[in-house]
A and B are shown apart, each in its own frame.
Chain A
Amino acid sequence: MGEIFKVAIIGSGPAGLSAAARAAALGLSHVLLEKTDHLSDTIYKYQKGKHVMATPSNLVLRSDIDFEAGKRETILGIWDEQIGGHKVNVKYMAEAKAIRGTGEAIPGSVQQIVTRARDGTKNVTELQRHAPPYAIELTSGETVMAENVVLAIGTQGNPNLMRCPGADLPHVQYQLDDPTEYVDEHIIIVGTGDAGIENARGLAEDPAQRNTVSILNRGTEFPTAKAANVSALMADHEAGKLTVRNESETKAIEPGFITLTTRDGEIRIPCDRIIARIGSAPPRAFVEGCGIEFTSEDRGAFPRLSPVFESTAPGIFVIGALAGYPLIKHCMNQGHDVIEFINGNTALKPADEPIIAAKFASLPGNRSTEEWLEFLRAGVSILNGMNPLQMREFMLDSEAKFYAPGEVIFERNAPGSSLFGIASGSVAVEVNPADPSITIPIEAGSIFGEVGLISGRRRGATIRAAEDTIVVEISRLAALKLQSQVPSAKTAIQRISIERQLLQMFGSGLTREDVAPLVEAARVEEKRAGEIVVTEGADDKDIFIIRRGSMIVEKQVGEKPVFLSYLPAGSYFGEMAVIDGSARTATVKAAIKSEVIRLPGEGFLALLDKRPALRERAMKDMAGRRATNAFIESRKDEFSGAVDLYSQTAQFLVDNGIGEATDVLLIDEKLCIGCDNCEKACADSHDGLSRLDREAGKTYAHLHVPTSCRHCEHPHCMADCPPNAIKRGPDGEVFIDETCIGCGNCQRNCPYGVIRMDAKPPKKPSLLQWMLFGTGPGPGEASYSWRKKAAEKEGGQKAKQAIKCDMCSGIDGGPACVRACPTGAAIRVSPDKFLTFAKLTEDIE
């Protein structure tokens, strides 16, 4: 066995490179292991000329290698040069297969590895950890020895390989860099996930390439792909652009041909290239095998780390995307810091120290950053389970604020999805909008704002500080992360939210003690879109509260189901059957993926018996609902056409995702003259790019749902935004701020296809210049060629960023699309106001 390095760094992405450069600068004996023959494979595989962004801009870069926003080629060039300059010891084609300690067994340090089979059964294996030095086994059979290991392998994992005979032939590939590279080829795509579908469509996109593209699907469904991708693929198939081969699998591969097993037997067809996109093995199994524990069994969980990035295996450190930091700057800073820590520099403050210190600067009390973090952690009960590193990370997405007595923390009807924790002091909730003097206190240690977090709806009440109060405002993202990291926090938030929802719904007469038995018996259940919660005619007796999502109520009249009403989050249903003991009078089903709280009917009845005021209130609500149902049913006899229209239009809108919208653009095609002035006004209000496509989208009974943002209650686009650039603004709009790095995740995640990636074009000549002299492209979005030419004159196109509707935030008068419609065809509505009989059968002309 050769040299034992002080540190071995696995992975040469931004984090690994920065760590290696630091180790080289400090003169530590080190080795950088890279599995390919070039540095930074993930960025290397970006498409040619891609602009790489450097966010967050307020974070200082602390690294021996440089990085600023620029083209992929420039950045890789600089890194290659500087890694060479630092004399970093790089070992290429070195893929780590396993890491194990070669010292003595560490007493009591046993790693439990849980593997889950497809059928849901669990298998637990135990691994005894051993002390350093570590032996890193490479796939080549070599072994590298090191006292410390820095794991910077990212989250990409390794692609799953094909296993049929001939799978090792050179024309089988697992990656498609540039679809325009291939012409005149017979290409088979294996795998119908999003990657496979996108590759297949890319290759078949331009008929001038004359590729014959087929995509193999093992079954007939596409369970792992997004619906939008599947429908686009099927459209391409119908249009003859490519072929979808269902129930087909590869049997053998040979040069020029492929043999498939299909439902109708074997076929052998010409094939010049195979692109297999059959998923990748997440690096988790490998990481766990090194003795590194994760915070939970959750698929999105990260390794459990100390404040210096050390994992549960002593001497193995985890940084970068694998540690939960997807942004390049964070990664590079961690690379630098982790080597400093390994080198014994324990006094080093993290690079984000100034950012966090700034968050505490305005608070009274003059504490240090560490003291503040501890103050919040100990003061707010749901934060008790966190460690200092988690607290630090948590604080990056949160804010600490001080409020004087009487100061408003948030107002009723303001949008907001953040959660608040009270670290000291207390707040007062104004439960009655008509009389602000009636308040309910919430004490220190507790939380508020959880309804906005869970339901995505506006704040239900105004909340003021009752005394000098310090709160921590936890962004939606940080709150979600907290719940996955700290299970006890999750249960606490759930319990409090159920209790508050009950208190808020049934009025001020109730106390916490009254609802305690109900809270105890409550169960939170998740419902798929379209799943039935209550069936008409059944005699079950539970009551439901919609926690998130929305429901629709239907009743069978004659042969057809008739749409009765739309229930947004925060409403309850099922009380009729409980109160009068009858069978269910209507069917209630989820309009979108939703969560309901199930309360046992007996518990509710017991509460009604105890509180006559509540019974009265429930009877009143029930009478109101009965009246609506009766009205629609009576209409059914007299104006059956109108009821059918209403029912079917409402169903159509729900099918098109209106159920999760907060503000959606609809076009009445009985009025739309197709002038596209809405698109033009949109472009002219927003940097010259339109954020809506009027023509695209579905239509029913002349009501058209164009491709335009619905500002969802729980925006899908926010799910995976590396710089957290997607936020909900003060007027409820979901917008993307300037920190967007142009990765395109939001565009892929949006089920409605409303996000486009484009470069902000240069300014057009003014309207007057166009009207009088014809200069410039005129109103509306300029053609691509004009934008390109004008940008080149200004020194090249800007980087592509994600753009979407921001509801004309900050523009006087509101959405320009609606205001610019000459005939009144364009309207923006919210489902709870629009999905009513009166609105849907309105006579507009």
Chain B
Amino acid sequence: MATKAVGKAGAKTGGTGRFSQDERRRDSDHVSFLKHRGFRWLWIALLLSGASIAGYLLIDQEPRSNGGTWYGYTLGTIGFGLILWLSLLGVRKRRINPGAWSLKAWTSAHVYLGLALAVVGTLHTGFQIGWNVHTLAYVLMLLVIITGIYGVIVYATLPASLSANRKEMTRAQMLDALTALDRQLESAAQPLARGEADLVIAALKQDVFHGGVLARLTGRYPRCATAIAMVCLDGGSEAEKRVEALLVKRHAQLQQIRGALRIRAMLEIWLFVHIPLTVALIAALTAHVISVFYYW
């Protein structure tokens, strides 16, 4: 009995139990996906790229460097495997159990190996470019990588401004604040003359989410009825002054909501290109692989 107990204690302090796992988590350094494990995946990606380039330069390929040599096939297989694995991030993100996965580690690997793919893929072409399905796959791959680079840049730079814009408010609270202002505006605007009242009504009636993609991304809403009403009211009477003050508040609240929308749009828009292109890339890649084997 005693030995069994000792064994159990040993296992706990030895580092496989949940407690030691939790302690490691609580002890671990707090770093971003780019810095994960001391840039582990950056080093692996550099190694892969370096080895690919060295192989390309040192191995004598006959009749010339080309996807069809044994080295070309090797690079092609590595590239194909990488593309399939990189595209699986979308599945891993949505399925974190079962298994002790860390999405941060996956993102880190995704970023650096994705960048290495540009090197591997380019060497695989042997710099033979033409108007065919093979080049289509290559170009699609480059586009996916370029949109990915945009993604990394916005992920690294925008979150702080998203947080600053939020000022501890949730999205629902921002909309609630707007509703509260609207209610106050509605009653404050009762004494106004017809023309001024119409301006306020127009502001209240306008959809908070009006404006297209461009407005979302730039944060500029030239047809904003609240801004127009703010300019047109000149604050003569007591009532007008109150309404104007409320309109200023409403505009500020709208600006906050729009700021949040803008930053989120910038953080998300590239995915609407990155992912469809990835699907297209996999289709083109399949065609490329099949045709290569068909005409072998």
Q: Check if A670 sits within 8 Å of B159, measured CB to CB.
A: yes
Given contacts A819-B102, A844-B30, 17 further A-B contacts (CB under 8 A): A239-B176, A407-B2, A663-B26, A673-B267, A681-B96, A695-B166, A731-B19, A811-B97, A819-B103, A821-B103, A822-B104, A823-B155, A824-B32, A828-B25, A828-B26, A830-B26, A845-B34
Q: Which of B4-12, B128-136, B204-212, B237-245 participates in binding chain A?
A: B4-12
Closest to A730 in B: B18
- State how many angstroms separate the Cβ of A47 from the closest Cβ of chain B: 25
Q: Which of B38-46, B63-71, B177-185 participates in binding chain A?
A: B177-185
Q: Check if A824 sits within 8 Å of B104, measured CB to CB.
A: yes
Q: Report if A404 contacts B (CB, 8 A).
A: yes
Closest to A828 in B: B25
Task: Give the residues in chain B near A696, CB-CB below 8 Å.
Answer: 170
Give Cα distance in the complex from A687 to B282, angstroms: 34
Q: Check if A407 sits within 8 Å of B99, measured CB to CB.
A: no
Q: Count chain A residues whose beta carbon lies closer than 8 angstroms to a beta carbon of B.
A: 67
A-B contact pairs, 10 of them (CB 8 A): A241-B180, A411-B9, A414-B19, A464-B5, A671-B159, A685-B97, A813-B100, A822-B33, A824-B31, A844-B30
Q: Check if B29 sits within 8 Å of A732, measured CB to CB.
A: no
Give Cα distance in the complex from A697 to B169, angstroms: 8
Q: Check if B32 sits within 8 Å of A845, measured CB to CB.
A: yes
Closest to B172 in A: A695
Q: Report if A103 contacts B (CB, 8 A).
A: no
Task: Give the residues in chain A near B168, CB-CB below 8 Å.
Answer: 697-699
Q: Report if B264 contacts A (CB, 8 A).
A: yes
Q: Check if B22 sits within 8 Å of A732, measured CB to CB.
A: yes
Task: Give the residues in chain A near B18, CB-CB below 8 Å.
Answer: 730-731, 814
Q: Report if A265 contacts B (CB, 8 A).
A: no
Give Cα distance in the complex from A406 to B2, angstroms: 5
Contact indicator per residue, chain A 72-105, by CB within 8 Å of chain B (1) or not (0): 0000000000000000000000000000000000
Q: Check if B22 sits within 8 Å of A814, measured CB to CB.
A: yes
Q: Check if A240 sits within 8 Å of B163, measured CB to CB.
A: no
Q: Check if B180 sits within 8 Å of A240, measured CB to CB.
A: yes
Task: Give the residues in chain A near B183, CB-CB below 8 Å.
Answer: 207, 240
Contact indicator per residue, chain B 264-284, by CB within 8 Å of chain A (1) or not (0): 100100000000000000000
- State how many angstroms separate the Cβ of A601 from the closest Cβ of chain B: 35
Give Cα distance in the complex from A671 to B25, angstroms: 18
Which residue, B19, B164, B177, has most C-beta atoms of chain A within 10 A?
B19
Task: Give the residues in chain B near A732, CB-CB below 8 Å.
Answer: 19, 22
Contact indicator per residue, chain A 669-711, by CB within 8 Å of chain B (1) or not (0): 1111110010011001100000001011111001010000000
Closest to A670 in B: B160
Task: Give the residues in chain A near B158, CB-CB below 8 Å.
Answer: 673
Q: Check if B26 sits within 8 Å of A407, measured CB to CB.
A: no
- State how many angstroms separate the Cβ of A239 from the closest Cβ of chain B: 4
Task: Give the residues in chain B near A697, CB-CB below 8 Å.
Answer: 168
Closest to A408 in B: B5
The verdict on A779 contacting B9 (CB below 8 Å), with A663-B22, A731-B18, A828-B26 known, is: no
Q: Report if A176 contacts B (CB, 8 A).
A: no
Task: Give the residues in chain A near B159, CB-CB below 8 Å.
Answer: 669-674, 823, 825
Give Cα distance in the complex from A674 to B162, angstroms: 8
Q: Report if B94 contacts A (CB, 8 A).
A: yes
Give Cα distance in the complex from A680 to B162, angstroms: 20
Task: Give the residues in chain B near A681, CB-CB below 8 Å.
Answer: 96-97
Give Cα distance in the complex from A822 to B33, angstroms: 7
Q: Check if A819 sits within 8 Å of B96, measured CB to CB.
A: yes
Q: Check if B94 sits within 8 Å of A673, measured CB to CB.
A: no
Q: Report if B93 contacts A (CB, 8 A).
A: yes
Give Cα distance in the complex from A681 to B95, angstroms: 8
Q: Check if A844 sits within 8 Å of B32, measured CB to CB.
A: yes
Q: Check if B1 sits within 8 Å of A845, measured CB to CB.
A: no
Q: Check if B163 sits within 8 Å of A704, measured CB to CB.
A: yes
Q: Check if B162 sits within 8 Å of A669, measured CB to CB.
A: yes
Q: Report if A413 contacts B (CB, 8 A).
A: yes
Task: Give the residues in chain B near A638, CB-CB below 8 Å.
Answer: none
- State how many angstroms separate the Cβ of A692 from the closest Cβ of chain B: 13
- State how many angstroms separate the Cβ of B9 from the closest Cβ of chain A: 6
Q: Report if B251 contacts A (CB, 8 A).
A: no
Give Cα distance in the complex from A207 to B176, angstroms: 11
Contact indicator per residue, chain B 76-120, by CB within 8 Å of chain A (1) or not (0): 000000000000000101111111111110110000000000000
Give Cα distance in the complex from A833 to B179, angstroms: 43
Q: Report if B288 contacts A (CB, 8 A).
A: no
Closest to A700 in B: B168
Q: Check if A820 sits within 8 Å of B96, measured CB to CB.
A: yes
- State how many angstroms separate the Cβ of A431 from the closest Cβ of chain B: 15
Q: Report if B249 contacts A (CB, 8 A).
A: no
Q: Which 7 A-B pairs have the closest CB atoms?
A: A813-B100, A406-B2, A669-B163, A695-B170, A408-B5, A239-B180, A779-B94
Q: Check if B26 sits within 8 Å of A845, measured CB to CB.
A: no
Give Cα distance in the complex from A644 to B272, angstroms: 42
Q: Check if B103 sits within 8 Å of A839, measured CB to CB.
A: no
Q: Report if B60 contacts A (CB, 8 A).
A: no
Closest to B169 in A: A695
Q: Check if B101 sits within 8 Å of A408, measured CB to CB.
A: no
Q: Report if B156 contacts A (CB, 8 A).
A: yes
Give Cα distance in the complex from A240 to B185, angstroms: 12
Task: Give the residues in chain B near A823, CB-CB below 8 Å.
Answer: 32-33, 104, 107, 155, 159
Task: Give the residues in chain A near B8, CB-CB below 8 Å.
Answer: 408, 411
Task: Give the residues in chain A near B160, CB-CB below 8 Å.
Answer: 669-670, 702
Task: Give the residues in chain A near B35, CB-CB below 8 Å.
Answer: 844-845
- State how many angstroms separate the Cβ of A568 from the closest Cβ of chain B: 13
Give Cα distance in the complex from A699 to B168, angstroms: 6
The verdict on A818 contacting B30 (CB below 8 Å), with A670-B163, A674-B162 known, is: no
Contact indicator per residue, chain A 701-727, by CB within 8 Å of chain B (1) or not (0): 010100000000000000000000000
Task: Give the residues in chain A near B2, CB-CB below 8 Å.
Answer: 405-407, 464
Q: Check if A680 sits within 8 Å of B94, measured CB to CB.
A: yes
Give Cα distance in the complex from A668 to B30, angstroms: 9
Partner of A674, one of B33, B106, B267: B267
The verdict on A820 contacting B103 (CB below 8 Å), with A404-B1, A844-B30 known, is: yes
Task: Give the residues in chain B near A668, CB-CB below 8 Å.
Answer: 30
Contact indicator per residue, chain A 564-582, by CB within 8 Å of chain B (1) or not (0): 0000000000000000000
Q: Report if B220 contacts A (CB, 8 A).
A: no
Q: Report if A799 contacts B (CB, 8 A).
A: no
- State how many angstroms separate the Cβ of B29 from the closest Cβ of chain A: 7
Contact indicator per residue, chain A 775-805, by CB within 8 Å of chain B (1) or not (0): 0001100000000000000000000000000
Partner of A814, one of B25, B30, B184: B25
Q: Report if A738 contacts B (CB, 8 A).
A: no
Partner of A408, one of B9, B34, B104, B156: B9
Q: Report if A812 contacts B (CB, 8 A).
A: yes
User: Within A44-64, which residues are at the interface with B (CB < 8 Å)?
Assistant: none
Q: Report if A816 contacts B (CB, 8 A).
A: yes
Q: Check if B29 sits within 8 Å of A699, measured CB to CB.
A: no
Give Cα distance in the complex from A670 to B96, angstroms: 23
Partner of B93, one of A240, A411, A820: A820
Q: Check if B30 sits within 8 Å of A674, measured CB to CB.
A: no
Q: Report if A462 contacts B (CB, 8 A).
A: yes
Q: Report if A348 contacts B (CB, 8 A).
A: no
Q: Check if B162 sits within 8 Å of A816, measured CB to CB.
A: no
Give Cα distance in the complex from A684 to B25, angstroms: 21
Give Cα distance in the complex from A564 to B36, angstroms: 29
- State how many angstroms separate the Cβ of A769 from the closest Cβ of chain B: 12
Give Cα distance in the complex from A673 to B162, angstroms: 8
Q: Report if A127 contacts B (CB, 8 A).
A: no
Q: Check if A814 sits within 8 Å of B100, measured CB to CB.
A: yes
- State how many angstroms separate the Cβ of B139 from the closest Cβ of chain A: 26
The verdict on A699 contacting B93 (CB below 8 Å), with A823-B155, A844-B31 known, is: no
Contact indicator per residue, chain A 807-844, by CB within 8 Å of chain B (1) or not (0): 10001111110111111110111100110000100101
Give Cα distance in the complex from A779 to B97, angstroms: 12
Q: Report if B218 contacts A (CB, 8 A).
A: no
Q: Report if B27 contacts A (CB, 8 A).
A: yes
Contact indicator per residue, chain A 648-668, by CB within 8 Å of chain B (1) or not (0): 000000000000000100001
Give Cα distance in the complex from A791 to B55, angstroms: 60
